[in-house]
Structure 1
Amino acid sequence: MQISGTVVAPDQFELREYPRPDQAPDGWVLVDITAIGICGTDYHIFEGKHPFLEYPRVIGHELSGRTVSDLPGLPAGSLVVINPYVSCGNCRACRKGKPNCCTGIEVLGVHRDGGMCSRIAVPVGNLYAADGLTELQAAMVEFLAIGAHAVNRSDIAKEDRVLVTGAGPIGLGAALFARLAGAEVHLMDLSPARLEQARTKFGFTNLHQPSDSVLSGDLADGFDIIFDATGNGQAIEAGFDLLAHGSSYVLISVVKGDITFTDAEFHKREARIIGSRNALKSDFDMVMQAIRSGQIDTDALCSETVRLADLPARFKDLVEDREALIKAVVIP
């Protein structure tokens, strides 16, 4: 048996016992979990706000672990990052090399039980060697890969003027990789605390709140690329007015319901809307290389570590304090 972090129902997080797997199906392998990042999805599951979830659910999809047995290129005990997106391999998106948007995708910790436990079985192709990373760093690769994927989708160019709306972990990831691409990066958030963290921990100085009159002075022409990581429909709609002519709007966050914009104005600017979902192996590789080279400061990203045994007493506080957190990581 193994202890697993389970959201039993909205506002109920418990440690429950489940059988620990000792065999994996064909094409799958066993991994001993070493660290688990807690993300906004986990908080939404706890709050009962996730639309595609059945309770109870073992959460956890930002995962690092060690291989249980020898695998090609990965001896037993190798540190790995786990890609939590389980794709079908057969749909049109998968056949075109886009398993991140597989029509039947299942995300660990959302559509099926996740990795907040001691051992999990995953498809062998979902393991990426994490040589040169620590166990904590490897658990932070997945959320950074989402931001890296959005930047890679944007066709960003050096000296582009970029706005990232939403300075939470995903938005920070997009901002960090946009800066590495040579862009002039601006951040916007309702929270002064989040903007201050972006300034003090990561050196971002172009900081705005939604109430600011952004389109003035040097910014009068708008932004070449906007990345939305707010998860807020009103914020997404407000972003259309900030687009420059010939610009791109990359929607990382997803909202229920419709998004509306003025079609004539959008066409006049010849703007593009780009959806960005999950990440590809190339994005994971890009993030790991950036961490190895010291271009990403994971110490600044990791706000605190929590033992799994202590998490039931801490989970509600983490939910309520997440404006002050960047990333909490659980150690099983």
Structure 2
Amino acid sequence: MKALVCSEPGHFYYTNKEKPELKKGWSILKIKRIGICGTDLHAYEGTQPFFSYPRILGHELSGELIETDGAPGFEIGENVTFIPYFNCGRCIACRNNKPNCCTRMKVCGVHIDGGMAEYLLVPSSSLLHGEGLSYDELALVEPLAIGAHGVRRANISHGEFVLVIGAGPIGLGTIAFARIAGARVIVLDINNDRLRFCRTEFKIEHTINALSDDVTEVLMKITNGDMPTVVIDATGNQKAINGAFQYMAHGARFVMIGLQKGDISFAHPEFHKREATLMSSRNATRTDFEQVIEAMKNGLVNPKTYITHRTKFSEVEHEFESWLDPKNGVIKVMIEMD
């Protein structure tokens, strides 16, 4: 089978590999769609934590189920997606129903080879029914689930002001599910095109450009002097994360969905006097995936809004670097298998 390998930062090559063989408790998918996300871009840049090379990228996937063992209720030929965080089932996190932060986590396309290939072997326990959704829609379930999980961690109350920092694909999913939770969403970014996208496609009333606006002043005005009671970072940018502590209301929660390699730094007295809560949000759970699928089916989320670029699998090697350039306006690239 044909596969695309990221051999080192900044370099891909196509290769032929053996098609995976079915084993007990696993299933084989014929990959149909591959979504590109920040994890893939950061891996290409060499800035992705928990990463080693060479690696076959790809974890936002959908495909056709062609062989299976241990997947009752699933049928050969069914459109499916899957949860790409392969957990051990035995550690303290797994025993406490938090498989998304398993101590022995193997994320498909990060710790182990992923889906930039014609076929992929996945645990049968990770499969999700397609529920009548298209391959495009199913490939977008995972990134939307990341946002849904972060929102669930925040435990948003109806009418709260929620500041989402970063209007990339993960940020947009976070925005969508924060709104579903009843939040009054404020979006902060440095890219005017993305902020415009939020206003036109997501009908977000309040958007702020961190480069040209006085962020604190604008937030004070929007929130009537209170500041946001929830701040969610979806940038994975060290400067953005460290700077966001100043935007928290007293009693606020700060949820970090974005991930970066450096240290978090903030003034302890300022954090302490707010009795603030700091949380990380890692991956997503089956509950989050099911919430996303249900939201898609009920029209609460329109996945097609996110797709701005399409390409064929055979063209990825040549086009990938261009997706890092903000001038190209990439929100979500969807790769179609040839």
TM-score range, shorter chain: over 0.9
Counterparts of 1:116-195 in structure 2, within 5 Å, are 116-195=116-195
Identify the residue that residue 4 of structure 1 maps to in structure 2. 3
Counterparts of 1:1-332 in structure 2, within 5 Å, are 2-21=1-20, 23-69=21-67, 71-210=71-210, 211-212=213-214, 213-219=217-223, 220-321=225-326, 324-332=329-337
Amino acid at match of 2:109: G
**Cα distance per residue 1:141-200 (max 9 Å; x no partner):** 000000000001111110011000011111111111000111100000011111111112
**Cα distance per residue 1:240-283 (max 9 Å; x no partner):** 11111121100111222221222222222121111100000000
The TM-score, its normalising length taken from structure 1, stands at 0.96
Whole-angstrom CA distance in 2 between matches of 1:202 and 1:35: 24
User: Structure 1 stretch 86-95 or stretch 25-34: which is displaced more?
Assistant: 25-34
Whole-angstrom CA distance in 1 between matches of 2:218 and 2:30: 48
Residues 35, 63 of structure 1: 8 Å contact kept? yes
- Structure 1 unaligned regions, length at least 5: none
Instruction: Give the C-alpha shift of residue 322 in structure 1.
Output: 7.5
SS in 1 for 2:163: strand
Amino acid at match of 2:221: G
Residues 164, 188 of structure 2: 8 Å contact kept? yes
SS in 2 for 1:294: coil
**Cα distance per residue 1:269-309 (max 9 Å; x no partner):** 12111110000000000001111111111121111221101
**Cα distance per residue 1:217-249 (max 9 Å; x no partner):** 342210010100111122112211111112110
Whole-angstrom CA distance in 2 between matches of 1:9 and 1:251: 28
Instruction: Give the C-alpha shift of residue 25 in structure 1.
Output: 2.7
Amino acid at match of 1:244: A
Whole-angstrom CA distance in 1 between matches of 2:221 and 2:53: 51
Instruction: Give the C-alpha shift of residue 26 in structure 1.
Output: 2.2
**Cα distance per residue 1:49-95 (max 9 Å; x no partner):** 22332222111000111211364111101111121101111110011
Whole-angstrom CA distance in 2 between matches of 1:125 and 1:89: 11
Residues 69, 75 of structure 1: 8 Å contact kept? no
Instruction: Give the C-alpha shift of residue 320 in structure 1.
Output: 2.3
**Cα distance per residue 1:88-142 (max 9 Å; x no partner):** 1111001111110001101111111101111111111111111121001000000
Instruction: Give the C-alpha shift of residue 39 in structure 1.
Output: 0.8
User: Structure 1 stretch 205-214 or stretch 271-280: which is displaced more?
Assistant: 205-214
Residues 22, 67 of structure 2: 8 Å contact kept? no
User: Structure 1 stretch 224-233 or stretch 203-212: which is displaced more?
Assistant: 203-212
The TM-score, its normalising length taken from structure 2, stands at 0.94
| Distance of aligned partners of 1:158 and 1:322 in 2 relative to their CA distance in 1, 3 Å threshold | farther
Whole-angstrom CA distance in 1 between matches of 2:238 and 2:218: 19
Whole-angstrom CA distance in 1 between matches of 2:58 and 2:248: 36
Amino acid at match of 1:15: Y
SS in 2 for 1:284: helix
Residues 47, 261 of structure 2: 8 Å contact kept? no
Instruction: Give the C-alpha shift of residue 321 in structure 1.
Output: 4.5
Whole-angstrom CA distance in 1 between matches of 2:328 and 2:175: 17
Residues 32, 65 of structure 1: 8 Å contact kept? yes
Count of residue pairs the alignment pairs up: 330
Residues 168, 194 of structure 1: 8 Å contact kept? yes
Whole-angstrom CA distance in 1 between matches of 2:219 and 2:88: 45
Residues 65, 82 of structure 1: 8 Å contact kept? no
Aligned-residue sequence identity (percent) comes to 41
